[in-house]
Every structure is written in C-alpha cells, then in structure tokens.
Structure 1
C-alpha cells in the first residue's frame, strides 16, 4: 500500500503530532523575533558604552540583515537535501552560539561578525519552519497555520522588548545577549525530541531509512503503515534554485519576488524609522518608545487574521487587500499628524504590512513542490530582504534631503499598493 502525505493530512483531523509541530515552529519563530530585535534594544546602551557613531551602528544592523539574506538564499535550500528538522536544529545552534558570543564582544568588528553569523541562522530558520508547517497542515487551513507559525516572530520581538527594558538598565546589554543565547540553546532538546521531520520529505525525497521513518510517523498519527514508498518523483535537472525559474514556476516566481521586495522595503522603512517617525509626527517621547511595540502587536493580529481570511477568501485577494489598504493608510498619514489616534495608526500599519508580507510566505509554501519547497521559500525571503536592506537606506536619504514624514509615507505608499496589485495577479494555479 502506498500513501500520499497530502491526502492523509488533508482528509484527517489534525493530530497531536501535527499540533506539536505547529507549536514548536511557532516557538522557533518567537526566538527568531527575539534574536533579530535584541540588537535594536541593546544599540543605545552599546553606543553609550563604546561611544559608537550612528553610522557604525548602522553597519551592525546591516550585517544582521545581510546575514539573514544569505541564510535564506544559500543555507535554507539545504533543508531540501538534509530535511527540515535538521536545518531547524542547525539554525538554532548557529543562532544560540553566535548570540551568546555577542555578549563577549569588546569592539565593533566582532559585533558585526556575530550579527552576520546569527543572521544566517535566523534567515534559514524562518524558511524551514514555514516549509515544515505547510507540509503538516490540511489544505483547507494551511494558509492560516503557516501565517500563525510566522506570527511567532512579532510575539518574540514584543516579549524580548519587555525583558530588555528591565534587564539592560539593571544588568547591562551583555546580559540581554546571554539571556537570548541561552533561551535559543534551550530550544535544541525541544527540537531534537519533540519536532517531527516532514512526512512529505521522507516520501518524496526518500533519504536513508525513509520507509521506516515514514512508518514511525504514520503510527504516531494512527494511520495504516505502508509496505513500500511511492514512486520517487523524477529528479529535476540542475540545482533547485534554477528550478524556481523554469517552466510553470518562472512567471509566478518573478511576480512573488517583486511583491516581496516591495513589501519588505516598506516594512523595514517603517520598523527602522518608527520611533523617529512617531516623535516627528507629534507624539511625546514617552509614547514614541511604545510605537514599535504597538506596531508589533498590530502585526501579530494582522498575521493571524490574514491567515484566517485567506482560508475563507483565498490568499491572493486577502493579501492584495491588506497591502493596498496599508498603502491607503500611509498615503492619508497627514490626517493623523498630531492626533491622539497616532498610536492606533501605527498598530494598523503593523496589522496591514506584516499581515500582507507574511501571507506571501504562505504563497511561496503553496507554490513550490516538496523537492524544492524550502529553496523556494528561502529565495522568496532572501529577495524580500534585499528590499529590506534598500528600503531603510532610501528612507534615510529622503529624510536627509529634508522631505517631511508625510511625503515619505506618500512615497512608500506607492510600492506598498503596487505589491498588493502584483500579488493579486500571481499566475500560479496552485494559489487561490
């Protein structure tokens, strides 16, 4: 008897094994959010302690972004060869070691190096958890669960911010990196003993002992065991990265990359400049500090609601509306200047832009087959992060030219709306 992982998971209620996979992937993305944001929370203390210039700190931030981009582009694709679980373990180990060692940095150079290395793990972690979540969830609710797993990212960012606010003034920025490193290390046994490798990976990629391992998973899911593996899909020629731009995948891949590049550019413009944007827009400094937290709280609700609506109305339409509405809010930002509703506007921006761009991860997870799914998700994230590198830099130039916040928001509303329109026209038949 042969079995299709897709039909098995689509036709049966979600098992405890599947829920455990979802929860662990969510927790891994919480660690991702914590490990990304810890440098932002520590930056003022580092600058004061070392008398570091804003330009030097900018290089530290960029090193982390470059690391995440390289991790998504070049490390994550190995999950299609060694398995999702192995890559998640490797990513957590890289993150834990490099983030803990960051606390021992005594100058800017090792800080830059450790941020780049930790970025490698962060970039590959996000792609691997998205792929694994998509392979263990039913077709009907897959978009919700993939989005839910990635919503761990802003949750980790918010919680680590609350911890940093207490720890850094009392114990120094080094202690915050030690806490983040130890927390990531503690995840390793959780991954090893409670996370299950993708059943789809065993059935289609068929590594050593694939039949025994697949039957072990089937037994835990209370399903009939199989005697033989299904016919192995024909091996695609060339490297998996090349497969993204071949045949039926070429046009939708380019459309997805353009949408992600533009959405990431706006997202990182907002996250990099929100405290300054908030004070310039008339918020007192005490409330401006909370603008980033409010943005991430909005993001969590945006991501989960987007996943829910995508399951009902389809991914392309839902994401398109989220991004277009975000662009409209940005274009009408002048209406809220100096208003008491400004924090609510930042929450709405987090809701829309993060809900929209995370939905594009679910598009990538649906669009590509198991054989190169993590490669597809990783390259989508990597191309998006290039927008994330360029977006804040262009914003800095525009602000330096003396353009007002209202004008900046108006400028960045254009790529946001265009990303929404592009998403609606992604030509893959696998995306609703």
Structure 2
C-alpha cells in the first residue's frame, strides 16, 4: 500500500534526499555564485569606513555628520534584514537575494555621481536596505542546501567570502584612494549587478522551503533537477536516501510569525543568539569603522598609512574566519562562539591597559581582537539558521541580523561619543572588552550545540 504524498511526507523525503547528496561541483558552484554576491555586499558595506577621511575633508563634515555617515547604512541594513526575513519566508530565498543584489549595484553607481552629503546619505540608506536583506537570506539558503555531515565547514567556507570582501575592500581602498579618489571604488562595487542574472539562471529555489510551504510539485521538480546536476558532476548514480528524518510537527503551510521565535524551545535560543549577534557586531564595527580616522586623528598618519594599517586588521579578521571554518565541526559551535568572544575580550583589555600609545600597539592588538571577533561573527551565520525550522528560518536569521545592525549602529556611536568626549582610547577599548565578556558568558552557558545534527532534528 503506497503512502500519499502529503506535505509532511514530502518534507521528510526532501530532507532525506538532500542529506544523501555527496559533495560535488554543483554545491561548489552554488556556493561560488552566492559567494560572489556576498563578497561584493561586504565590499560595499565597509567602503564607507575607508572613504570617510576623504569625503569628510571634501564635504567639510563635522564629527556628528561623520557618525551619521557611518551609521545611516546600518540603519538601512537593520530595516532591510527585518523586511527580508518576512519576504524570504513567503516568496522564496532566491527572489529576495536577486532583488537585493540589483538594488545594491544601482545605488553604488548612483553614489559615484554625488557631489553633496545629503543624496549620498539617502543612497547609503537604500543600499543598506539591500545589503541587510541579502546577507541573512543567503545564509538561510546555503544552510538549507547543506547536509548535516560537515555542514559547518561547508557553510563557513561560503561565509568567509564576507570577511574576504571586507579585507579586499580595505586593500583596494588603500591602493585606489590615494591615486584616484573614492568614486572609482563605488563604481567597482556595482559589479554584483551582473550576478543577479546568474542567480536567476543558475540557482534553484530551496527545495526545503518549497516543501515547507506546500509547493509539492515544485519541490519535487527542483529536487530532481538538483539530483541530475549532482549526478552529472559525479559521473555516477546517487546512493539511495537513508531513512527519512522526522517530519516537523507544525502545519507545513503555516506562515512564519514573530511569535514562532519565542514559542517553546525557541525562546531561549532567540534570546541567547540575539545577545551574541549584538555584542559581536558592536565590538566589530565599533573598532573597524573608526580605525582609519583614529590612525589619522590620534597618531597623525597620512591617509595612505592609515588605510594600510586598518587593512591589516581586516586581514587578521579573515584569518580568524578561516580558523573557525576549519575547527567548527570538531570543536562545535558553542566552543567557537565562547572562545572567540573570550579572546576578543582579552585582546581589548590588553589594548586598553596599554592605552594604545603608539600606532603599532593599536595595529597589533586590534588585529588580534579582530581575529577572534570575526570568527564569532562568521559562525553566527552558520549557527542561527540551525536554530529555527524551515518555515521561519529566514525570519530567525534576519532578526538576528537586526540585532547585528543595532550593534553596527551603536558601536560607532559609542566609540565616537567616548573618543569625542575626551575619555581616551584606553577607555574605549576597556568598555568594548567588558561588553564582549558578557557575550562570552552567554555563549558559554546558554548556547545549544548543533554540530552533526540535521536541520529537522535540531529545529522540528
């Protein structure tokens, strides 16, 4: 007697078929295409920190207007993250990613034409909406096409492209700005507009999302397409699916809602991961966004020197991300998060105790802090999608991104207020270190381990 293809059965079947897919060129190509997009989103995000000393002088900006320039994009990212989670859980992951990429590219082109601060700020805000929407949605998508075995390394090797974009953005800015000014950077940042075409042609919708929303025929067709492409990559038939994983208890066609994130087991997870998102990114952007200005203003380095010193910190952050990708499936998510925030705390306390009396001290200890801090932040893009069911996964990741953006907004404001208020660099780093210590305690005591478990097992 055959079993009817109910939505529950289909979700079990889709999950089992995805879990049995060997690694192939198909998964690598998907990760590459989405990765190119995310790389340039990161490139766009950090450009403002490296162009601020130049446009600040060109447009005679005050400390207040500089702070507004640093934070307006983050405000847009906050709202974009909030809206994208709702949209991606209703209309699909790929449509939202494609729209966000196109908007980001158009805004970058338009910013090259700006001759005053106000239109530049408006465009930064709109671009922030798009960047804030793309990054968490892409994280949810990559998690949904991954299998439990070595999911950490697969996802984080994709997520590394974001800090790589930050590092390359810093390197390119340090070379381009002294020679050609800031406008060519924003023209270059429009490159991902071309990737929107590739997304539509090459990237199938998440079969887990299709099945969870009751699109049975589309889910089956998409899964069959993926299986054909994997077989073509491997040159051999696929192994049969293992026993299907447990079906979700919720009604498959149920739409996600904010209440889902605080129901039952998800309440503790949400409060825990929101805290880590906020702390990790407050420390991250509080440091990196002001570094070029601190090097120039406090130590009177040239713009070129300030940019190269700041670049070293971004490169150290990229190294931290790579280390996290290599160890996260062995040590587990909780250890990486707690140890990363603990290491960030230690480096910032040392920097505060030294008083950041020389550019070299600031360079060394801020780079070590970034190495630990970036490892935490990249791991959150792996960990957060694992904590929520498919029906509300994008919403869960995007709301984590909202707390991320609160951190991005308040970090530069906090550092700017302490710095402008005459507290000194030592106080700035001690305050940030204390905040990171709270995050380390939360991760160590409350983070639930998810390594080696299927998404359906972790979040039914």
Q: TM-score, normalised by structure 2?
A: 0.85
In the alignment, what sits opposite 2:263?
A: 246
Alignment deviations for residues 299-327 of structure 1 (CA, whole Å, 9 cap, x no partner): 11111211221110110112101110110
In the alignment, what sits opposite 2:285?
A: 268
**Equivalent-residue separation in structure 2 for 1:388 and 1:180 (angstroms):** 21
**Equivalent-residue separation in structure 1 for 2:431 and 2:26 (angstroms):** 46
Aligned pair 1:399/2:419, yes or no? yes
* Aligned counterpart for 2:326 among listed residues 308, 315, 337: 308
In the alignment, what sits opposite 2:162?
A: 153
Aligned pair 1:368/2:388, yes or no? yes
How far the C-alpha of 1:367 sits from its partner, in A, is 0.5
In the alignment, what sits opposite 1:200?
A: 208
* Aligned counterpart for 2:313 among listed residues 295, 306, 327: 295
Corresponding residue SS for 1:247: coil
How far the C-alpha of 1:278 sits from its partner, in A, is 4.6
Distance 1:406 1:236, change over 3 A: farther
**Equivalent-residue separation in structure 1 for 2:106 and 2:306 (angstroms):** 33
Alignment of 1:178-257 (within 5 A): 178-181=187-190, 183-207=191-215, 209-222=218-231, 223=238, 234-235=251-252, 239-257=256-274
In the alignment, what sits opposite 1:384?
A: 404
Equivalent pair of 1:14/1:137 in contact (CA under 8 Å): no
Distance 1:275 1:299, change over 3 A: same
Q: TM-score, normalised by structure 1?
A: 0.90
How far the C-alpha of 1:238 sits from its partner, in A, is 6.6
Equivalent pair of 2:167/2:318 in contact (CA under 8 Å): no
**Equivalent-residue separation in structure 1 for 2:309 and 2:170 (angstroms):** 12
Equivalent pair of 1:215/1:225 in contact (CA under 8 Å): no
Corresponding residue SS for 2:115: coil
**Equivalent-residue separation in structure 1 for 2:305 and 2:15 (angstroms):** 48
How far the C-alpha of 1:152 sits from its partner, in A, is 1.2
Aligned pair 1:61/2:67, yes or no? no
Equivalent pair of 2:80/2:128 in contact (CA under 8 Å): yes
How far the C-alpha of 1:394 sits from its partner, in A, is 1.7
Equivalent pair of 1:316/1:431 in contact (CA under 8 Å): no
Aligned pair 1:411/2:431, yes or no? yes
Equivalent pair of 2:213/2:252 in contact (CA under 8 Å): no
Corresponding residue SS for 1:138: coil
* Aligned counterpart for 1:323 among listed residues 341, 350, 364: 341
Any gaps of 5 or more consecutive residues in structure 1?
A: none
Distance 1:198 1:176, change over 3 A: same
**Equivalent-residue separation in structure 2 for 1:311 and 1:245 (angstroms):** 27
How far the C-alpha of 1:339 sits from its partner, in A, is 8.1
Structural RMSD (CA): 2.7
**Equivalent-residue separation in structure 2 for 1:49 and 1:337 (angstroms):** 29
Equivalent pair of 2:70/2:412 in contact (CA under 8 Å): no
Distance 1:399 1:163, change over 3 A: closer
Equivalent pair of 2:70/2:289 in contact (CA under 8 Å): no
Distance 1:427 1:56, change over 3 A: closer
**Equivalent-residue separation in structure 1 for 2:29 and 2:224 (angstroms):** 18
Distance 1:329 1:96, change over 3 A: same
In the alignment, what sits opposite 2:371?
A: 351
How far the C-alpha of 1:32 sits from its partner, in A, is 1.0
**Equivalent-residue separation in structure 2 for 1:331 and 1:231 (angstroms):** 47
* Aligned counterpart for 2:56 among listed residues 47, 51, 54: 47
